[in-house]
Structure 1
């Protein structure tokens, strides 16, 4: 988890097996917040104004899970900590800094509306994009990380409302976050909802990805992983709240190592959205599923005949249909350290700690 203003321990060895310990220093400067108003055409504010420990921690964070593993020439995931901190309030400024070649910590200080609707900003490597308090919002679009893009952190944002009026929309590929062949990405403490297609699409061998402490809600296709015949991706998914999402919770296709733990999947009764399935291990995926909490979900855990799921310590309340396990998987602790919350505490822990404005030290 985040350790602001302290040394950070990261384990890894090329992404395979227990390896050497390296130490990374968090961003020395605090997250900057500009308090003076700006016009739509004004430049981003780079003046430090908020040096509180909580503000600094959002920008200083380095990833856990597979995003922390040293591999592919990248030592963990720390985003833009080695670059300047800029505060943005306009689409032009957000796109300018997110697509730049240089590293940046980009603080989103208000609601930014995408134009045209569905626009996905093509984020470059070595970026941290973080919301200021609970004010940072991306409305009507999202982010795209292309082939080879790496070392990107997206935290503490609300990304919402590219929905085009069709529930199972096959005409608008308007995702909150789409990744095609990226690596070392950390998606943390965001609220993702009401988009036209996927909330998160991890595609085409995107790997060394950690998705943690997010709220994925009020949606059809929540979190899809795959779009590849290769089985090379390593992904950690923990402490996320899947609430009123019909499918892809996630759908995990051809993942070499899929580690899911302490997630809360909730299908509340009496709503217009009904789950079709929960965690789905597809293709050749090897999945370890630990201490998660499934409430009211139909088909909470399913797998293909070719896929594996090792279940440990999960809780199922009011679920129905398929709940499957089988095959062999892997030991996540040979890749990185982690601590499990008891499954019984997952609803309260995830409800209180997930999404923007929570405590970044969790």
Structure 2
């Protein structure tokens, strides 16, 4: 380890937002949707929380909730070598990415160890040409406020099958919070949650311009618990997400825009609740075959459906049996998510 890391005192970072602008945004969207109530967002936000919510906020497996590297030093990095040094360290760290970091060789996924926060400084933190891998047993990790982009190999791999270059891959990890990132143009997945990864919350991210967007599963077990809220999926094809064998999947207040193959696909023995989300120009916005699916409060605009799709089945579960939350009305979601998802200038600064 570097005996003289560039450190700074840890501090509470709160990015203030305008409650008034959120209310106006919700009203504007509602007015544009035929039949929608001109109802403001249910809880105007005074600032971004620095604590995970949803399933990542819960204890389980003898650990939790998710705090990332809060127990360790804060370091600032702007090279691949520095970033790799701290993400792989045994000690906890808050790792601030202060600039664009080009990853070489292309497609390299840095292996993140437990008890880390990796956060972009404002909108400056970008990981280009690579991503992150969290393997078996890795836990208590926050990846936040970053742009991770550009490993596409369109000429060599038009179907994204030969080069497994993900933005973030999680294999049997737990207590993970993926928040306020922009993930785009990767050769394979933007986010793959695999092999029983659990106590995962994915919030306020942008999933843009990709084929295989967000895959979940690669397991016969039905143990994972995942919360997915206030994300923006735009110009994607498949896996938005494709959610296989999840014990409890809670999706709310997501914005799906221009998805060509399918939107939220509940697979296998998944038990899912999809609520207060907004689907625009999406083919098969939400459906299941064998899983349980409760859907409520969703809005679909200019969407198409295949004949015979099952869009509701079984009783699934009540998310409030696990944690408290308050969903915004679906009519407010496009404006909220368009403005406040992805990297924010006042997070990490």
Establish whether residue 167 from structure 1 lines up as the match of residue 158 from structure 2. yes
Query: Per-residue deviation at 1:51?
Result: 8.1
320-329 vs 100-109, which deviates more?
320-329
Alignment of 1:208-227 (within 5 A): 208-227=199-218
Q: Check whether the contact 1:199–1:222 (CA below 8 A) recurs between aligned residues.
A: yes
Matches within 5 A, 1:96-175: 96-165=85-154, 166-175=157-166
The one of 254, 271, 279 equivalent to 1:294 is 279
Number of equivalent positions? 313
CA apart distance, 1:275: 1.1
TM norm structure 1? 0.82
1:176: Cα distance to partner? 0.2
Q: Which position in structure 1 is the counterpart of 2:264? A: 279
User: For structure 2, which runs of at least 5 residues remain unmatched after alignment?
Assistant: 17-45
Q: Within 1, Cα distance between the matches of 2:96 and 2:133?
A: 18
Q: Which residue of 2 aligns with 1:317?
A: 301
Q: Within 1, Cα distance between the matches of 2:235 and 2:124? A: 24
Aligned to 2:250: 259
SS at match of 2:163: coil
1:171-195 per-residue CA deviation (whole Å, 9 max, x = no partner) reads 0000000000000000000000000
1:356 and 2:343 correspond: yes
Kindly state the Cα deviation for residue 208 of structure 1 after the two structures are TM-superposed: 0.4
Alignment of 1:1-362 (within 5 A): 44-48=5-9, 53-54=14-15, 61-165=50-154, 166-267=157-258, 275-304=260-289, 306-322=290-306, 324-357=311-344
- 1:62–1:76 CA contact under 8 A, matched in 2: no
* Aligned-pair CA distance for 1:119: 0.4
Q: Distance in 1 between matches of 2:10 and 2:68?
A: 21
Q: Which runs of 5+ in 1 are unaligned?
A: 1-40, 268-273
Report how far residue 153 of structure 1 moved: 0.1
Q: CA deviation at 1:47?
A: 3.6
Q: Which has the higher contact order (CA 8 A, sep 6+)?
A: 2
Given that 1:225 and 1:250 are in contact with CA atoms closer than 8 Å, whether structure 2 keeps it comes out as yes
Aligned partners of 1:67 and 1:77 also within 8 Å: yes
How far has the Cα of 1:42 moved from its partner?
A: 12
Aligned-pair CA distance for 1:75: 2.4
Tell me how far 1:44 sits from its aligned partner. 4.6
Instruction: Please state how far the C-alpha of 1:297 moved relative to its aligned partner.
Output: 0.3
Instruction: Give the conservation status (yes or no) of the 8 Å contact 1:66–1:210.
Output: yes
Q: CA deviation at 1:90?
A: 0.6
- For residues 314 and 237 of structure 2, the distance between their equivalents in structure 1, rounded to whole angstroms, comes to 26
2:27 aligns with none
Asked whether the 8 Å contact 1:59–1:130 carries over to 2, the reply is no
CA 1:204–1:73: 2 relative to 1, 3 Å:
same
Identify the residue that residue 32 of structure 1 maps to in structure 2. Answer: none
In structure 1, what is the equivalent of residue 21 of structure 2? none
Q: Determine the C-alpha separation between the residues in 1 that align with 2:274 and 2:168.
A: 23
Greater mean alpha carbon deviation, residues 45-54 or residues 205-214: 45-54
